[in-house]
C-alpha cells in the first residue's frame, strides 16, 4: 500500500499546484472538473505527471474523461476524471514502463 499512497500524494500535489487549490480539497473522489480544471489545466497536469513519473500518458484533449491504454487484450479504457482515477492510471503506466 505504501507505494500507492505515495503516488496518490504526488498526484494530489501536482493537481493542487496546477489548480492553485489547497491539497486537502483533493480527496480521492474529487473530480478535476468540479475542482475547476479546464481543458488546458488537465493538459498541464498530464504533462507534469509525465515529467514526474517519466511516463507517457496517452491522453487526448478530445476524449476528456477517459484514457485508452494498451492492455493485455488490446486497448483498455480507463476513467480519467477523479484524483484516484489519475493515480490508478499513473500506477498502471509506471508498472507497464517497469516491465518493459
Maximum pairwise Cα distance, the chain: 39
- How far apart (Å, rounded) are the C-alpha atoms in residues 61 and 40? 8
Q: Phi, psi at residue 82, to the nearest 5°? A: -110, 170
60 binds other proteins (CB under 8 A): yes
Binding range to other proteins, per CB under 8 A, among 21-29, 33-41, 71-79, 87-95: 33-41
Number of other CB atoms surrounding residue 56 within 10 Å: 12
Closer by beta carbon to other proteins, 17 or else 60? 60
Stretch that binds other proteins, among 2-10, 15-23, 34-42, 87-95 (CB under 8 A): 34-42
Number of residues that bind other proteins (CB under 8 A): 11
Amino acid at each position: 500500500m505504501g507505494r500507492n499512497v505515495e503516488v496518490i500524494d504526488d498526484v494530489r500535489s501536482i493537481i493542487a499546484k496546477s489548480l492553485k487549490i489547497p491539497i486537502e480539497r483533493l480527496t480521492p473522489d474529487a473530480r478535476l472538473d468540479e475542482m475547476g480544471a479546464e481543458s488546458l489545466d488537465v493538459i498541464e497536469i498530464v504533462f507534469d505527471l509525465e515529467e514526474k513519473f517519466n511516463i507517457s500518458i496517452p491522453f487526448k484533449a478530445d476524449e476528456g474523461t477517459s484514457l485508452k491504454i494498451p492492455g493485455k487484450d488490446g486497448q483498455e479504457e480507463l476513467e480519467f476524471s477523479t484524483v484516484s482515477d489519475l493515480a490508478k492510471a499513473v500506477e498502471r503506466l509506471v508498472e507497464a514502463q517497469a516491465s518493459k
